[in-house]
């Protein structure tokens, strides 16, 4: 029997997952302890057949369940590995564990594994989900379950930790292939997270892990949580979804991945924000914040409707003012605002280049700086999609119209100033390399969306403070 470490596994109706998990660790010949929370299928029988020690405990939340397991099982090994039943140990991690010796890790209290998460059979590789480090192996009697968390459970150790980057566990909940199960599960989780955040507002809960942006994976998570709690409700799910999709390249995860990022990054967190306000209202607290916070449904619907209207109208108008089946000569010659914007950007770029001593010439679509290069201002260069997003957000957000208009005009002007700056740099320094992985449109959009997110955050926070001040008076 392995004397270096034991496995502790949490279960509830896991007959579909537990055999897979146990098979992935069988050759390690380590003690296995299973804490079940009232399974009605064959989960307990499977654990008993394997030779695992089994205990029962009614489920309240994951941190308390882990705490019960660590305190009530008769664990004799110096290390314990804490896993969920829907996880598996990969061959690479299995080999690392087979060579593990406590003597070589005397100054270490915890080891992070790298998790690969699957949703509907697809590895979620982007959107901040890979690599994703979890403290799964802890020194027994030293590490413990963080009871200051209600849902986002983690182990805590007081001493040094290391990361096994190649020590991968696979997490794939096959029951989540039924989307109704996923929604019902996360609806329950949203209750726990909402209640936890309200308790943090009331200073009933505190963070166990010290927040540190350059610290361990859990310290970095604690720092990001503090930032998250400061963001305005209803706005933060949208900002987070955009961040995951475009800045962490979640869009590269394909159709299934985009669905996952939308559900987990936007829908789940929007539901939490709604439930937070419901709890606060029931407690008769934070009245001003609740009364003045944007209606989540109204705001989201207004934003989506306005963004779609602006975005697709621009595409439609570009189509009818370009030679083709639906071409309108009248609109093209008299009210072609897209051509007008292109002309304005070209002239502004030439003017800026002139200030730096460069001569440039242009036609309707191209700009040439002799001795440097040529750039083409195609439709995607004009920033109409970015402006559609920014305009829709500002108009949908419930503040005074005057404040919207001033901010909107300044924002659009700022976007085009950045656009002109981009064209100047492209005209002078950009080389047309067909082998580039990311083109200049993608780079520009990433930078611009990041600046817009920061600007919108400051604007929303400013307006929230003004609304709350007026309500208090």
Which structural domains are found in the chain, ordered by start?
A: 5-173 (3.90.550.10), 179-303 (no CATH), 317-432 (no CATH)
Which residues neighbour 363 within 8 Å (Cβ) at sequence distance 6 or greater? none
Q: Name the nearest CA neighbour of 358 among 367, 280, 366.
A: 367
pLDDT for the residue numbered 295: 62
pLDDT for the residue numbered 230: 86
pLDDT for the residue numbered 467: 53
For residue 374, give the 3-state DSSP assignment: strand
In the chain (473 residues long), the average pLDDT of successive 10-residue segments reads 96 97 97 97 97 96 96 98 97 96 96 97 95 97 94 93 96 96 95 94 91 93 92 85 87 91 93 91 60 65 91 92 86 90 92 89 88 83 89 87 85 89 84 56 74 81 62 48
Tell me if the pTM is above 0.75.
no
Is residue 469 exposed (0-12), middle (13-18) or buried (19+ Cβ within 10 Å)?
exposed
pLDDT for the residue numbered 15: 97
pLDDT for the residue numbered 125: 96
pLDDT for the residue numbered 439: 60
pLDDT for the residue numbered 132: 96
Outline where DSSP puts E strands in 220-298.
none
Judge contact between 370 and 359, C-beta under 8 A. yes
Q: How far apart are CA 209 and CA 235, in angstroms?
A: 26
pLDDT for the residue numbered 471: 46
Which residues neighbour 253 within 8 Å (Cβ) at sequence distance 6 or greater? 122, 124, 125, 126, 127, 260, 261
pLDDT for the residue numbered 105: 96
Judge contact between 236 and 226, C-beta under 8 A. no
pLDDT for the residue numbered 296: 64
Q: Which helix (H) or strand (E) covers residue 378, if one does?
A: none
């Amino acid at each position: 029997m392995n004397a270096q470490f034991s496995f502790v596994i949490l279960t509830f109706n896991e007959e579909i997952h537990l055999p897979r998990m146990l098979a992935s660790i069988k050759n390690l010949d380590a003690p296995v302890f299973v804490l079940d929370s009232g399974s009605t299928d064959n989960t307990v029988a499977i654990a008993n057949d394997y030779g695992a020690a089994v205990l029962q405990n009614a489920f309240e939340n994951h941190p308390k369940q882990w705490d019960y397991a660590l305190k009530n099982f008769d664990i004799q090994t110096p290390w314990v590995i804490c896993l969920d039943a829907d996880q598996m140990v990969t061959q690479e991690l299995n080999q690392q564990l087979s060579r593990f010796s406590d003597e070589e890790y005397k100054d270490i209290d915890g080891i992070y594994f790298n998790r690969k998460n699957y949703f509907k059979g697809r590895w979620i590789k982007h959107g901040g989900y890979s690599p994703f480090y979890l403290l799964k192996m802890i020194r027994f009697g030293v590490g413990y379950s963080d009871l200051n968390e209600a849902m986002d459970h983690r182990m805590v150790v007081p001493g040094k930790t290391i990361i096994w980057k190649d020590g991968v566990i696979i997490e794939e909940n096959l029951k989540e292939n039924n989307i109704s199960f996923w929604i019902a599960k996360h609806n329950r989780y949203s209750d726990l997270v909402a209640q936890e955040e309200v308790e943090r507002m009331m200073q009933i809960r505190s963070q166990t892990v010290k927040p540190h942006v350059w610290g361990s994976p859990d310290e970095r998570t604690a720092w990001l949580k503090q930032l998250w709690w400061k963001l305005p409700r209803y706005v933060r799910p949208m900002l987070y979804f955009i961040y995951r999709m475009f800045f962490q390249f979640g869009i590269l995860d394909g159709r299934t991945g985009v669905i996952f990022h939308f559900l987990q990054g936007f829908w789940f967190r929007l539901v939490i924000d709604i439930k937070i306000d419901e709890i606060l209202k029931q407690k008769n607290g934070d009245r001003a914040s609740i009364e003045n916070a944007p209606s989540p449904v109204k705001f989201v619907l207004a934003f989506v409707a306005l963004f779609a209207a602006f975005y697709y109208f621009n595409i439609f108008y570009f189509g009818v003012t370009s030679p083709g089946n639906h071409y309108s000569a009248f609109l093209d010659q008299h009210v072609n605002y897209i051509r007008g914007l292109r002309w304005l950007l070209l002239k502004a770029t030439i003017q800026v280049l002139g200030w730096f001593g460069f001569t440039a010439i242009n036609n309707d679509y191209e700009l040439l700086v002799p001795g440097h290069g040529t750039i083409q201002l195609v439709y995607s260069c004009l920033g109409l999609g970015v402006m559609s997003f920014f305009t829709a957000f500002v108009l949908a957000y419930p503040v005074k119209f005057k404040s919207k208009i001033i901010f909107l005009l300044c924002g659009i002007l700022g976007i085009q100033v950045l656009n002109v700056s981009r064209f100047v740099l492209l005209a002078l320094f950009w080389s047309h390399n067909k082998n580039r992985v990311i083109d200049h449109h993608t780079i520009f959009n990433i930078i611009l969306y990041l600046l817009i997110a920061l600007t919108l955050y400051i604007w929303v926070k400013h307006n929230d403070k003004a609304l709350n001040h007026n309500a208090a008076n």
